[in-house]
Structure 1
């Protein structure tokens, strides 16, 4: 969730991905004292089953009513839904299928088809029974792991040809406890191998794993009724769509802190992902975004305060991980993460981030100028980067005539760029996760005379059309809009409108596809965030699920199979309604093939693009790995190959920048640590994708005769044809 989204979240929200029944919760890691290290486990500890409360039962009934009667999706609570809730709940509690066996699942055969009717009437005990069994199995598995470690790592055999499945989310459940024992031996071997390959000694490995499993065991013993209820409700609400979720009173507190913009910390949005805490999105201008190493879909393994040992957070509740990452401004927190592109869960990276305040000015739109020499002609292309759609609502409500907003700032930047003699404009919306809806509407208005910008349809099929009523145009020259997979919500509304009006070209990669609107509704116990409407472009197509497809595509490192609306279970589908009349400024069909041809010819000889493609190919190979070897020698060879590839790619980039190569991977990592300590020293040179946007603009200017219509848009205005009926 971006700053602007947080500001406007009470009316419109945007955001994220879900695994199983896991829900994204906007946690912009705030200032407070961190938790201490986990205590030693009491050998005589006994798991105390949790039970539902009357308040939870009442909240359950209210949630069921809201979902059935006010959600955008018309979905009844049926026997079929009951089975889906059951599967999603197990996915939430044991997504990697490492705790429960087929014998355990069979115990709940009768429950599978009855959860729906029970959830209608607030009968929570079946869900709590499942939760308690899973907690007991977690405790058994962790005790087994600790016992294995205590028997000595030298008892483990690393010379066989065994392999372990990297992702077990689609695997069969193991038959019984004995089969789970065998699986867990493999898991422990895998963890030991990963640390041996990183240079750790067996004594240190045993200590690290022991602390990890003891930490998880402690959390299992400390399970609370609210943990079971939130997990169960989110499995239930997730049947309607991935952005509808239940917030417990504690989670609601964190959410409401975000509403007040108390944003000090690392600036990240997190969610639970089975046993892990996963990064959903980075707040533009925040410490993590500026530091540059933490990425969406990274999973957090441990958290370390300055001068302290890392605390393993696998299996922790989301709110507890957030508390641990919080800390004083200018202090450093170190995260051990499994990178989004890691081939298996044992590959981790350590990232040090200096906590700081997320400053509004660092999220503001900014400008630059690209100077291109194209044979006999030089071009000056303006670039405006918009990290988020923001507005200072407090200043606006107070009547401050100089309040900051995206549209006001961009208007001023356009004026400055035109004074500098730019011939075209590139708007960079990459990684812009959205924000204030009215700012997207107003920003479109800077580039068109007047007209509709977006349609919003509610559950009753009533359609509201937002319009730009201001006939003034801040910029009527040629336009390119850059997008990527992390461009979402308000970014998609702007890019889609520019594309529909023929006002400019969209360049980059397919956007996120977040085309729904949520409202937060209070309950007697916690809150419900519920999807109530859907965005549609002026041409009638929804931005939901499909996003905006660029006119000219540039490959991206981001894995679309893991990040994006179409990667989410139960995401609302793409559809379309009637178009609304709107001006078509230019028909690019006559020149788009030539523009694509020139772009592809440039990239065929561009060393930076070649390097990007090498990275993408490398990441693809990593992602395609479904098993890893438990043989030490084979694993070492694989590890060394990965390390060599990382170093080769890093040094190729250094060479392009005219810098000395790194002698070793350790040198690269030391340099990354130095960058993390002072992210403001990062090289701000315009990246090659922005420059390619400038080249595409120059191509458009080269075709000036065919581009005459966009340079004088009113002369060539036509009415867009109506789209197909709903």
Structure 2
């Protein structure tokens, strides 16, 4: 079992880019290459890969938490997953290709057992042929002249084709490619690019695609195929090729420099999954989960290199670099379907442990004419300096040790209650989650771990001392995962704290790395359960008092991942409840809703939630320039109205346009970020008020007995 749960919420394609942090970039300009004029060469599997595939099959059948029989049904599922990985938007394969591959689907289970990789490689080679044809078609359209595109014609492009049928024939294929090209031209044009600039950027993009196809190695085919198999067990079980395994080890050590962001590949884009607490991107305050990176530049004056369609590891190599050097990222915001882009400047640096420290402050509230003092402890991650602890350093840093010190200080301030802020905390050390729980209970179990054989092991509070026993709330959101869920779940089960905010991520599994003859296998060995017997997997921790969230309805969370292990329950174990919160939940929720119905920040959040729901999941886009302009103007106008409504309610100057908002956000992110962090936001203030309400209700209940 791996005790460290950091970055637990990774999607399957993230594994070699956990922290985009690492070395010197390659040249950003490709010269003409005669090799690209020739068709791509076929790839062949190696004996080492065949042996590794058999080893993976055997290891998963013996050791994985989920037991899956490798039969025709599971083989057909692997076949579909493989096609989805190669052509997720159904833009390459023809129906005739799929028909030709169908016989492989029926015997893929036996091919996996025997290490026969020929079917997988034949499909991969066909994908490369189709992708090459598309790139060459795009280059031919560029040569004809981007100004030849009829942007007045009323056409639409289906953006998400995952549920669309495979392309019926080459005519349908070319028509789709033509529309996709037209969409690229229109997007760049609406970002004020000239025809020459559009032609140059799209030429580079498609030449990069051709180069990537020519540089493909048999390991690319093997890794994609084997991960289509491992993925049917659960989304966190992955095969790492030798090179990917090396990158994974480097990234987990956090020993090199970068921007501190977790990236994944989605269709042709590089997408931001999360931003690492304490890292350069988080401190800059600009990059957000869901943002798509479309180009990367070195320094303030280096040319922006288009990275659409580029391999994820190549994009990572462009972003990572030496400490204190600047990288520029051109992004399309994940919170908008607008064609507009923004450029962020981030100075590379190490993700430092001290930047992830827990911190505290005190908030004051008025209730019944009296001041109530509520302490707030923000915990960005569950950290521990393992090396210092193992070497016997009495001053080694850890979440629990730092929170203990903060609690001792706060208790001297005559606190009425305490709020623990775990928003955005993606996990970390299981040991720290266990020991932190122990600060708020006398003694008892903290979490259960169930292995693939059904054996259950309990983690126990190692210290019988209760450091803080007063009223308490824990604030969580959709990005609170793993160790955060263990702690929040324990506090909820014990009745030690109200859980406030949003449903958590739902990552409740344990992985281990197993070496192979060729690469490594990360597989799920166990599952976490709360002391009440509920799993933290898939469902996460549900709040007692729910706040609105911009993550609602978005593709974030364990339950959004394919083949995620289900939520379930086991037999609970004996534990002592400190109090029963249930009688107070309804009156607390009523008070909360009455207080926030007209609160500017909560009104704004609900309006932004509706705004995102309206525009984020559009199935089609217009290819008519005037219509697209109108759509963007309408969208930006609605956003401006929402922003100005908040500003008016707060007595702030109104904006004339969204450009002013973007400029203001960049200034705040760079110059005022640290100052802003010290100020309590609307969520924490409201969480404090809910806690004060709870204290009052409990006091009345006690007085009436």
TM tier, shorter chain? Answer: over 0.9
Aligned in 2, Cα 1:672/1:208: closer, same or farther, shift over 3 Å? Answer: farther
1:86-115 deviation line (CA, Å, top 9, x unaligned): 111111111011111111111101111122
Pair 1:317-2:311 in alignment: yes
1:163-215 deviation line (CA, Å, top 9, x unaligned): 11121111111111111111111111112222222222222122211111111
Question: For the Cα contact (< 8 Å) 2:435–2:462, is it kept in 1?
Answer: no
- Under a length normalisation based on structure 1, what TM-score does the superposition of the two structures give? 0.93
1:203-240 deviation line (CA, Å, top 9, x unaligned): 21222111111111111111111111111111110010
- Under a length normalisation based on structure 2, what TM-score does the superposition of the two structures give? 0.96
My pick for the range that moved more, 281-290 or 542-551, is 281-290
Aligned partner of residue 159 in structure 1, secondary structure: coil
Aligned to 1:288: 281
The within-5 A match list for 1:213-612 is 213-306=206-299, 307-343=301-337, 346=339, 348-612=341-605
Aligned partner of residue 207 in structure 2, secondary structure: helix
Question: For the Cα contact (< 8 Å) 2:545–2:589, is it kept in 1?
Answer: yes
Moved over 6 A (4+): none
Pair 1:51-2:37 in alignment: no
CA distance in 1 between counterparts of 2:25 and 2:675 reads 29
Cα deviation for residue 560 of structure 1 reads 4.2
C-alpha root-mean-square deviation of aligned residues, in Å? 2.0
Cα deviation for residue 655 of structure 1 reads 4.8
2:23 alignment partner, one of 24, 32, 37: 32
Question: For the Cα contact (< 8 Å) 1:353–1:677, is it kept in 2?
Answer: no
Cα deviation for residue 158 of structure 1 reads 1.8
Cα deviation for residue 17 of structure 1 reads 5.0
CA distance in 1 between counterparts of 2:641 and 2:284 reads 22
CA distance in 1 between counterparts of 2:651 and 2:413 reads 29
Cα deviation for residue 22 of structure 1 reads 3.7
Cα deviation for residue 406 of structure 1 reads 0.7
Aligned to 1:694: 688
Cα deviation for residue 355 of structure 1 reads 1.3
CA distance in 2 between counterparts of 1:432 and 1:652 reads 31
1:610-641 deviation line (CA, Å, top 9, x unaligned): 01111111001012421111111111111112
Question: For the Cα contact (< 8 Å) 1:27–1:254, is it kept in 2?
Answer: no
CA distance in 2 between counterparts of 1:420 and 1:187 reads 62
Cα deviation for residue 708 of structure 1 reads 5.1
Aligned to 2:138: 145
Cα deviation for residue 375 of structure 1 reads 4.7
1:664-706 deviation line (CA, Å, top 9, x unaligned): 3333333344445557455222110000110011101222425
Cα deviation for residue 559 of structure 1 reads 4.2
Aligned in 2, Cα 1:27/1:308: closer, same or farther, shift over 3 Å? Answer: same
Aligned in 2, Cα 1:585/1:263: closer, same or farther, shift over 3 Å? Answer: farther
CA distance in 1 between counterparts of 2:4 and 2:195 reads 54
Aligned to 2:171: 178
Cα deviation for residue 154 of structure 1 reads 2.4
CA distance in 2 between counterparts of 1:54 and 1:342 reads 47
Question: For the Cα contact (< 8 Å) 1:60–1:122, is it kept in 2?
Answer: yes
Question: For the Cα contact (< 8 Å) 1:22–1:272, is it kept in 2?
Answer: yes
1:394-430 deviation line (CA, Å, top 9, x unaligned): 1111111111111111111111111122210000000
1:311-361 deviation line (CA, Å, top 9, x unaligned): 2222322221111111122222122233333337x5544332221221111
Give aligned pairs, total.
Answer: 700
Question: For the Cα contact (< 8 Å) 1:268–1:279, is it kept in 2?
Answer: yes
CA distance in 1 between counterparts of 2:102 and 2:226 reads 20
Aligned to 2:606: 613
Aligned partner of residue 431 in structure 1, secondary structure: coil
CA distance in 2 between counterparts of 1:646 and 1:156 reads 31
CA distance in 2 between counterparts of 1:451 and 1:10 reads 20
CA distance in 2 between counterparts of 1:9 and 1:663 reads 52
Question: For the Cα contact (< 8 Å) 1:162–1:630, is it kept in 2?
Answer: yes
1:555-607 deviation line (CA, Å, top 9, x unaligned): 11114440100001000001110000011111112211110000000110101
Aligned partner of residue 699 in structure 2, secondary structure: coil
Question: For the Cα contact (< 8 Å) 2:363–2:376, is it kept in 1?
Answer: yes
Question: For the Cα contact (< 8 Å) 2:191–2:341, is it kept in 1?
Answer: no
Aligned in 2, Cα 1:114/1:10: closer, same or farther, shift over 3 Å? Answer: farther
Aligned partner of residue 584 in structure 1, secondary structure: coil
CA distance in 2 between counterparts of 1:677 and 1:698 reads 35
The within-5 A match list for 1:117-132 is 117-132=110-125
Cα deviation for residue 278 of structure 1 reads 2.3
Aligned partner of residue 123 in structure 2, secondary structure: helix
CA distance in 2 between counterparts of 1:406 and 1:455 reads 21
Pair 1:160-2:125 in alignment: no
Question: For the Cα contact (< 8 Å) 1:546–1:566, is it kept in 2?
Answer: yes
Aligned in 2, Cα 1:676/1:554: closer, same or farther, shift over 3 Å? Answer: closer
My pick for the range that moved more, 311-320 or 566-575, is 311-320
